[in-house]
Structure 1
Amino acid sequence: MIPQLVTVRSRRRNGRWLRLYVPVLPVLLVLSPVLLLAMVAGLVACVVFRISPVGALRGTGSVLGALRGTRIEIEQGRTAVLVSVR
């Protein structure tokens, strides 16, 4: 199952946190024309490099499924960003 919600937290200069909730499905629907072009480019790359397209799609699906529960925290100086995938 693909992730449903991505939460992005960023600390502002005044020390307060800005929290953004990004639902994955509506973003995928809006970006579907770009994703279609990316899939065609990926299929062409599979043919050029002699990779099985089915295996490549299966691997991509596995990576997307494994993203659930991922937390990425970056902090440098006064800047901090937290990305959480649910």
Structure 2
Amino acid sequence: MTNIKRASLDDLEKMNREGKLSRNSEPSKGEELGPDFWANARLVEPKEPRSVHLKLDPDVFEFFKSQGKGHLTRMQDVLKAYVRAHDHS
């Protein structure tokens, strides 16, 4: 069984000041990536997003906004799906 304890931020700050919080300065070693991985690896440059002004019908905007926080991301996801479905390159 896992030993889980609750502590407030104040409690954690106090424990930190008193040196009661342990820190592992050595990160755990991850899995070894073999030569096959590196032979097929490629650098992918991140794309800078573009900010645009987009006019939407009110019902379209309200549909996404009514689903809560993240409505702009959901709109972006729908547009990405459309592009993927119509990309014939």
Give the TM-score normalised by the residue count of structure 1: 0.30
Bigger proportion of residues as strand: 1
Q: Which has the larger radius of gyration?
A: 2
Q: Tell me: higher relative CO, structure 1 or 2? Use CA pairs within 8 A at least 6 residues apart.
A: 1
